[in-house]
Amino acid sequence: MTPTPVWRRALPYLLLLAAAILLPFTGSTYWGVIATRAAIYWVLVAGLNLVVGFAGQLAIGYVALLALGAYTTSVLCARTGIGMVPALAAGGVVGALFGVLVGLPALRLRTFYFAMATLGFATIVTQVALAWTDVTGGGVGVPGPSLPAPFDTPWGFYAACVMLAALATWMTANIAASRFGRALVALRDADVAAEASGIAKAPLFVTVFLFSGAAAGIAGGLFADLQTYITPDAFTFDLSVLFFIAILVGGRGSILGPLLGTLLLTALPEVAAPLVAWSTFLYAALLLLIVLLMPGGIAELLDWRNRRPLTQDRVVLPRPALLADLLPERHRAPALAVRDVRLAFGGVRAIDGLSLDLHAGEVHGLIGPNGSGKTTTLNVIGGFARPQSGSVVLGATRLPQGAPAARARHGIARTFQTPRMVGEATVLDNVMIGGGVTARAGFMEAALRLPRQLREEAALVRRARLALGAVGLDALAAVRCDRLQHSELRFLEIARALLAQPDFLLLDEPAAGLAAPEIHELGALIRALAARGVGVLLVEHHADLIFAICDRVTVLDLGRVLAAGKPAEIRAHREVVSAYLGA
């Protein structure tokens, strides 16, 4: 499959924009107001979409931020007499600040808790608006602001809102297509893999909450202008539900879907006036149907490409030669050493005084029976598990414990026993998740498509294609990841890990579920990696593979090293042979 050309991806947006430009020629003020409303809601939903649709955080009470933006803008205009444009900017700032405040619990709380917290916040904002009479006017409210000419007429205001909506669309689409969008989706669907790829949750979430809060605040200011007058009554829970459902109806991880969802849900009550009493009931029914029957929403419905059948009987054919281009000749990293690590879960000792050295350019096998501590060792090296004593040392640097997202910067990458991929993203996007750690361009550079961002993105795509070629998956680059076979996912995980240009690669049972020829290809690939200077730690059950490709083997038993040495020595080790190799 070839990637969709840019113009075809932009086509639906351009059609919508054309429709928006043509609307005034119908002369219907009424539909003008409805379309203005839809544009304003979309400014908010576009930002919220990054939180809900991409980061997967169920922020239900975003009407609170709409209210904050509306009140900030209106109160500033009414009481200080500054123009609406600076007031609108202030509304955006207030929205951004509170967006972070509301969002912070998402860093620590589970989904349902977070949903509840946002709901509670929405109630509180309304109550404060009512009680703080001196500023907000209480129940009497405040008059809404008005944009300066030429945006002070209904159609002028419509134009301003459509322009902002288009800007919001463009910016969020840019973010979605950047490493930030991929990182959000990765945190949503494969958080462990995201952290192993060097994606730190906290700073990214704070940035996204700032952005979506600002969008919501600005939408609030526009909302106040449209309403001409705001009271706390205007910020109903139904509105929150509408925003939220628009995204889910549209489909997670899509921009076009939620945009269509917003238009649909804004216009629907106008067309179906007799059902007004049932509108929230119908929204809820729609949500339930979407969740149960079509979790992908409108976006999935529109995704024709991924309904085309893939070729059956695909074979993964790695081309290790491409590694030369992907992993250029570098300075060899110092050894990675695990020193006297002890770690117990409750009363069970998972690792009990383990030490091992991993050298650049070497394949180091780690074997042992189930429960002997192999994966736990990987977790300690990868920063996922926090040992009670002992350390992981890279050259002279002691690596911090329990900070997995910091490992990628130290040149450590890994794969997982069960592949952790983003099923809804393409194969290429999944690989590129691994390369985020090498990029420098910031969030706003991505949102505005500034030159550095474009340069880095192009380089990343090129390297991702190289990595896919190296592991033999380049033909599947544009396919949704959840359509791949299990064996393909194993190779895909390696490609993703390679994009971080690691010095050390931790592979957790990469041959599990592979057919014999594939295991053979895998072995060759691993050897080629070592030849490029990568130190590989290989946890495996396939003894043949271990002995065929390892330079060194460590055997674990009950969290302790039973034997360590060259494959030939291990093969001859009496205890190992009698216990595991079944002589």
Using alpha carbons, list the distances in angstroms from residue 546 to 33, 495, 526.
Answer: 69, 21, 11
Tokens 């893939």 belong to 310
Rule CB under 8 A: say whether 11 interacts with another protein: no
Using alpha carbons, list the distances in angstroms from residue 378 to 224, 361, 392, 428.
Answer: 55, 18, 11, 26
| Out of 23, 60, 67, 431, the residue judged to bind another protein by CB under 8 A | 60
Q: Can you tell me the distance from the alpha carbon of 293 to that of 271, in angstroms, rounded to the nearest whole number?
A: 25
Closest distance to another protein from the beta carbon of 181 (Å): 18
Give the neighbor-by-neighbor strand order of the sheet with 504-508.
412-414, 504-508, 535-539, 363-367, 552-557, 560-565
Nearest alpha carbon to residue 509 among 543, 485, 540, 544: 540
359 vs 414 by CB, closer to another protein: 414
Site for another protein in 169-198 (CB under 8 A): 189, 191-192
| Out of 15, 21, 82, 276, the residue judged to bind another protein by CB under 8 A | 276
123 vs 578 by CB, closer to another protein: 123
Rule CB under 8 A: say whether 229 interacts with another protein: yes
SS3 (DSSP) at 275: helix
Q: Can you tell me the distance from the alpha carbon of 91 to that of 73, in angstroms, rounded to the nearest whole number?
A: 5
> CA dihedral defined by 394, 528, 417, 485, rounded to 10 degrees?
150
Residues in the interface with another protein (CB under 8 A) total 78
Q: Can you tell me the distance from the alpha carbon of 301 to that of 289, in angstroms, rounded to the nearest whole number?
A: 14
SS3 (DSSP) at 290: helix
Rule CB under 8 A: say whether 498 interacts with another protein: no
Nearest alpha carbon to residue 361 among 531, 552, 155: 531
295 vs 513 by CB, closer to another protein: 295
Omega before residue 150 within 30° of 0, cis = yes
Q: Can you tell me the distance from the alpha carbon of 458 to that of 448, in angstroms, rounded to the nearest whole number?
A: 16
Rule CB under 8 A: say whether 568 interacts with another protein: no
145 vs 523 by CB, closer to another protein: 145
Binding mask 407-426 vs another protein (x if CB under 8 A, - otherwise)? Answer: ---------x------x---
Site for another protein in 69-88 (CB under 8 A): none
Site for another protein in 91-150 (CB under 8 A): 104-105, 108-113, 115-117, 119-121, 123-124, 127-128, 130-131, 133, 138-141, 143
Rule CB under 8 A: say whether 491 interacts with another protein: no
Rule CB under 8 A: say whether 8 interacts with another protein: no
| Out of 384, 443, 491, 580, the residue judged to bind another protein by CB under 8 A | 384
Closest distance to another protein from the beta carbon of 182 (Å): 18
CB atoms < 10 A from the CB of 31, how many? 15
Q: Buried (b) or exposed (e) across 387-413, using 16+ Cβ within 10 A?
A: beebebbbeeeebebeebbebbebbbb
Rule CB under 8 A: say whether 56 interacts with another protein: yes
Binding mask 292-311 vs another protein (x if CB under 8 A, - otherwise)? Answer: x--x----------------
269 vs 361 by CB, closer to another protein: 269
273 vs 396 by CB, closer to another protein: 273
Site for another protein in 449-488 (CB under 8 A): none
Instruction: Answer yes or no: are the C-beta atoms of 304 and 4 closer than 8 Å.
Output: no
Rule CB under 8 A: say whether 232 interacts with another protein: yes
Stretch that binds another protein, among 159-167, 266-274, 432-440, 485-493 (CB under 8 A): 266-274
Closest distance to another protein from the beta carbon of 552 (Å): 24
Q: For residue 93, give both structure tokens.
A: 């700032």
Rule CB under 8 A: say whether 236 interacts with another protein: yes
Closest distance to another protein from the beta carbon of 580 (Å): 24
